[in-house]
Amino acid sequence: MNRSPLSRRNFLKAAGVTGAGLTVGACRNASAVPAEATRAAAPPTPTREPKPTEVAMADHNAMATPAESAAAAPAAQTETAWEEMDRMHEEGVKIFLDGIDPTNGFWGTPLEYTEENGVKIFELTCQEIDWEVEPGKPVAAMAYNGIVPGPEIRVTEGDTVRVIVHNEMNQSTSIHWHGVIVPNNQDGVPYITQPPIKPGETYTYEFTTRNSGSHMYHSHHNALEQVSKGLIGAFIIEPADKSNEPEVSGDYTLVLNDVGIGLTLNGKSFPYTQPIIAKLNDTIRIRYMNEGIQIHPMHLHGLEQLVIFKDGWPVPQPYYCDTLNVAPGERYDVLVKCHTPGAWAFHCHILSHAESAHGMFGIVTAVVVQE
Amino acid sequence: MNRSPLSRRNFLKAAGVTGAGLTVGACRNASAVPAEATRAAAPPTPTREPKPTEVAMADHNAMATPAESAAAAPAAQTETAWEEMDRMHEEGVKIFLDGIDPTNGFWGTPLEYTEENGVKIFELTCQEIDWEVEPGKPVAAMAYNGIVPGPEIRVTEGDTVRVIVHNEMNQSTSIHWHGVIVPNNQDGVPYITQPPIKPGETYTYEFTTRNSGSHMYHSHHNALEQVSKGLIGAFIIEPADKSNEPEVSGDYTLVLNDVGIGLTLNGKSFPYTQPIIAKLNDTIRIRYMNEGIQIHPMHLHGLEQLVIFKDGWPVPQPYYCDTLNVAPGERYDVLVKCHTPGAWAFHCHILSHAESAHGMFGIVTAVVVQE
Amino acid sequence: MNRSPLSRRNFLKAAGVTGAGLTVGACRNASAVPAEATRAAAPPTPTREPKPTEVAMADHNAMATPAESAAAAPAAQTETAWEEMDRMHEEGVKIFLDGIDPTNGFWGTPLEYTEENGVKIFELTCQEIDWEVEPGKPVAAMAYNGIVPGPEIRVTEGDTVRVIVHNEMNQSTSIHWHGVIVPNNQDGVPYITQPPIKPGETYTYEFTTRNSGSHMYHSHHNALEQVSKGLIGAFIIEPADKSNEPEVSGDYTLVLNDVGIGLTLNGKSFPYTQPIIAKLNDTIRIRYMNEGIQIHPMHLHGLEQLVIFKDGWPVPQPYYCDTLNVAPGERYDVLVKCHTPGAWAFHCHILSHAESAHGMFGIVTAVVVQE
């Protein structure tokens, strides 16, 4: 992964480079709001400004119909309704833009390991924790090493990997290496390939990696609860022979989830997701991993996606799309050539997973292409 | 698009050409109902004939179990139950067949434009309207130029397009050109690439088209409501070089939707959808566009589909199927060779999107191949 | 299909071959439960051992959160909760393993036919029955010839097929030959291509098969109820020229269903589904058929799937995956090279279709590779 630091100033330059660009706050682009706007806007009735967290915590899945409810209200009230809706939309985008911090470890800093006789040794601790899908609003979660998703494990094809799992939860667990070819007794299915790892126990997996690709690790015990609440992570095996690997300036893993901790992208809900930052004409790689129980057709604005791998296997012939349907358990690797500058919305196109009357939320982020 | 007029007589000839064919009404095909039908049918208990609109407005999503409820009833009542079910099924099909009118503008008459200094200028007006998913039953909708979906915009790769948007609704809006490569400030995401278009305002988009294909335009503000209620339309960019375009006798766009105005195909629910009419051995092109929030696996009876484009991009190698799963935000172009005459059912294969105990409804139509 | 008999002893040898292997019952693998398990497990509070049927009949779709409910309980109760959960998980796996009987007709014994003047004649009788998705727990179903799914019909491309349908149900029906190219009047859509087959009637379909592949037959009348309750079956047309057919040691059809009789694989819910038994280095063929109304992304552990056909049509270039998303109405044929011995879990990766706090259920089975 090769990411250049991005100052706040540079980010805004990138996002706003194309003209109207970002209109954070109440500013308006004169040409974008022409004079023929004929309807006199009533001055907004004073209403309490909703705080960001209030907005974000609202029931995003309920399909509000402000226009309908407003229809029965007096005119001034009607104005208030849509203006409040707009303000909530704007507030979310502001939080998103203000929260950009490319120096944090959001984008899959791989888990550190020790090495012993050529074996790479990782440690994972399972805990029941409170996880902030958004700041200040903890939800009951289950985590590897205290984060959701768990830390990315990244090794090279042929590596022998040992993973020591500590179960500090109040229920048993196990880990399945989803997509990774392993001996049967390392496959992680309680009562079929191993006993469950009971509360307080430690269990060790060990296998030599054979198939490169974007894989996952996750619980395979009481999995509807444990996976949906966060016992998930990326397990990436880089090929031993990298001559066929695409050259990219950034490599981003997007772990998608839905029930349990809610609609999230790498454990966070918009506006608390982090954007992907790239330079003009960069090619970036995105690895989708669906750990949820619903499909997530991922739509990137403005920049086409070239699908190169499915479930870690190369597709026979790469193909282009702008919306890629990722089903539970699937992974896809795509390349994106950043040929046009600006801030490109990037979200699940099941609209109830991405926007409510209170603004965008859930599985939404952006690819920001700096000039 | 090249469609020949179809008289009622010719349609029936086409549909009934293969033998048993269409059995509209109560007629029976003797060979199809053999003598070994041994169970004496009790004369139907007189029941009120449900009117078409009553049938169609019933709660299609509720899974009725007439057999079960009938089980507790006396025999004559039981007969009534299934006979009434059959009558409702038949009624829907009759309405569908009677409603065929190939001269109406259902199939995507492109929006007219003016031209100024080489720029094609389109106008779209957003309004909250009542929309008849079926005749006489208006639902609350949001429309471009008064129709759902909005008018098809069809241009040629390289065209510069200006779209003037008038917002006559009681809430702000914006338009995203889904799949179309545009400069960032024309991308239609409020507070990221433009301010929202407020009630009463007019806003102008302008861009030069670069990538041909079957694209879409739709709201990107409060989109769960606005898109599901109808602020959607096809945006088709024909390639500048048409030498690789397939030769077809008809080109049909199917915009799919689900929540909001309900399960619809081009804004209508069966039996008020319109069939595709083709001649024997014609090749037709179908462009699927999913503007809903659910998948719609589209199944065509009797005629295979050759997938040639996904999201406007050519697939590396076309492939055949009979059921094509279209996810929200996706578009697919397929070719259908009409090699066998008759009326071929064509529907979403999520059965709750296509049929209830009251008969077929929702995302259902037919391809009628005339000999 | 070519399956060798498998004794109980041989099965366990196969499943346990790789080391820790199967740990049926309470046995533990010493190396798998290391000494560093530091938390003293409280002795389990005596609780009533749930009977297998109780476990299996629990509401699997409700997402239980035993950890949460346990949090409010005293410590001993908490231990009881997870131990009971584990016991239920184990119980299901035991039932699955004990139930293996490769001599039964689970895997699609084709329907017998008579032959008359070169026509293959099949008979199907539609009945409302009680069907045991699991032993002792009948659900209201609709069946062809008394089983769900109905018997597999397997013919060869070019065969002329006559199917005589007897409707012994309390409602009308019809049969659509999903994916099979037929004359329009044999397509099975009431009031469009035929009258419905009324209660007590017999109806005859006849057509010459033209397109080989993994197809289906199912009701096309009141289909949401009739299909979801079981009027479904595989219709497999083997190619006349078998020179391009893959050589396989086993050929398994997996009919998936969800609403109606519930989440099932060939009409059964785990642990009452049957595993696929193969020998090391065998190549097997799996034909997925989704007759439900939800997607089922099928994940096979440890062994990659090579997709070779979609809807009976060869894919232009076979591709590998470990999770294959099968949408309603779709069929896929895949090849699996059994390169690693052991019992490999094989399930829908929508976790709510495969596991609850009470253990695995629904669309779950295993591929058991014997050394």
Average pLDDT over residues A178-206: 98
Residue B115: how many CB atoms within 10 A of its CB? 9
Segment A253-307, tens digit of pLDDT: 999 999 999 999 999 999 999 899 999 999 999 999 999 999 999 999 999 999 9
Query: B109 pLDDT band (50/70/90 cuts)?
Result: confident
**What CA–CA distances, in Å, run from C263 to A166, C92, C216?**
34, 16, 18
Bridge partners (DSSP) of residue C57 are none
Contact A187, C301 (CB under 8 A): yes
C301 touches A at CB < 8 Å: yes
pLDDT for the residue numbered C175: 98
CB pairs under 8 A between A and C: 192
Residues of B in contact with C176 (CB under 8 A): 301, 345
Q: Inter-chain contact B315–A318, Cβ cutoff 8 Å?
A: no
If one compares B66 and B347, the residue with the highest pLDDT of the two is B347
Structure tokens at A316: 């026979």
pLDDT at B155: 98
How far is the C-alpha of B298 from the C-alpha of B313, rounded, in Å? 20
Q: Which helix (H) or strand (E) holds A151?
A: none
Higher-confidence residue of C53 and A234: namely: A234
Please indicate if any CB of chain A lies within 8 Å of the CB of B194: yes
Residue A16: pLDDT band (50, 70, 90) is: very low
Q: Could you tell me the two tokens for A277?
A: 């930052």
Q: What are the start-end ranges of the E strands in C227-363? A: 232-238, 250-257, 264-265, 276-279, 283-290, 296-300, 305-310, 313-321, 323-326, 331-337, 342-348, 355-356, 359-360
For A349, B138, B216, B264, C331, the CA distances from B149, given in Å and listed in that order, are: 18, 15, 10, 10, 31
Dihedral class, residue C14 (left if φ above 0, else alpha if ψ from -120 to 50, else beta): alpha
Match 């009725």 to its residue by tokens: B64
pLDDT reported for residue A36: 29
- Residue C190 · residue B89 · CB < 8 Å: yes
Provide the residue type at A222 as one letter.
Answer: N
Instruction: Name the residue among A222, A235, A121 with its Cα closest to residue A167.
Output: A222
Out of A222-236, B97-111, C273-287, least confident range: B97-111
Residue B209: pLDDT band with limits 50, 70, 90: very high
What integer is the mean pLDDT of A192-200? 97
CA distance C127 to chain A (A): 35
Output Rg (C-alpha) for chain C, integer angstroms. Answer: 22
Residue A181 sits at the chain C interface (C-beta within 8 Å): yes
The Cβ of residue C254 has, within 10 Å, a number of other Cβ atoms equal to 24
Which one of A211, A222, A228 has the shortest CB-CB distance to C357?
Answer: A222
Q: Which residue has the tokens 């014994």?
A: C109
A225 touches chain C (CB under 8 A): yes
A194 vs C29, C81, C340: nearest CB: C29
pLDDT category, B98, cuts 50, 70, 90? confident
ipTM: 0.82
Dihedral class, residue A249 (left if φ above 0, else alpha if ψ from -120 to 50, else beta): alpha
> What DSSP state is assigned to residue C153?
E
> When comparing pLDDT for C12 and B104, which is higher?
B104
Are the CB atoms for A316 and C325 separated by under 8 Å?
no
Report residues of chain C scoring pLDDT below 70: 1-79, 101-108
Q: How many Å separate Cα A93 from the centre of its chain?
A: 16
Please state, in angstroms and rounded to a whole number, the distance separating the CA atoms of residues C267 and C232: 10
C-alpha B215/C-alpha B226 separation (Å) is: 18
* Residue A291 · residue A255 · CB < 8 Å: yes
Among A22, A348, A254, A338, which Cα is nearest to B181's?
A338
Which two tokens mark A352? 């109830």
Could you tell me the sign of the dihedral formed by the alpha carbons of C241, C243, C244, C245, in that order?
positive
* Closest residue to C68, CB basis, from A140, A200, A221: A140
Return the residue matching tokens 């980010």.
A11
Per-residue pLDDT at C106? 58
* Collapsed DSSP state (helix, strand, coil) of residue B136: coil
* Cβ contact C100:C24 at 8 Å: no
Q: What share of chain B is helix, strand, coil (3-state, %, to 5)?
A: 15, 40, 45
User: Distance between CA atoms of C285 and C292, rounded to whole angstroms?
Assistant: 21
CA distance C267 to C257: 8
CA atoms within 13 A on the CB side of C322: 28
Q: Quick check: A313 and C325 CB within 8 A?
A: no
pLDDT given for residue B120 in this prediction: 98
| pLDDT band, very low/low/confident/very high, at B308 (cuts 50, 70, 90) | very high
pLDDT tens profile B225-274: 999 999 999 999 999 999 989 999 999 999 999 999 999 999 999 999 98
Calculate what percentage of chain A has a pLDDT beyond 70.
77
The reply to whether omega before A341 is within 30° of 0 (cis) is no
Q: pLDDT band at A97, cuts 50/70/90?
A: confident
Q: β-strand C276-279 against C364-370: which pairing, if any?
A: parallel
Place of tokens 């199927």: B321
- Tracing tokens 């290391």 back to the chain, one arrives at C34
Max mean pLDDT among B9-13, B278-282, C48-52 falls in B278-282
Which chain B residues have a beta carbon less than 8 Å from that of C202? Answer: 34, 36-38
What is the tens place of the pLDDT at every residue in B22-43?
A: 332 222 232 332 223 222 333 3
Structure tokens at C169: 């149900």
C359: helix, strand or coil: strand
Round to whole Å and give the CA distance between A297 and B327: 7
Report the neighbours of A using a cutoff of 3 or more CB pairs below 8 angstroms. B, C
Backbone angles phi, psi at B284, to 5 degrees: -115, 160
Nearest to A323 among B199, B317, B329 (CB): B329
A233-261 burial: b if 16+ Cβ within 10 Å, else e: bbbbbbbeeeeeeeebbbbbbbbbbbbbb
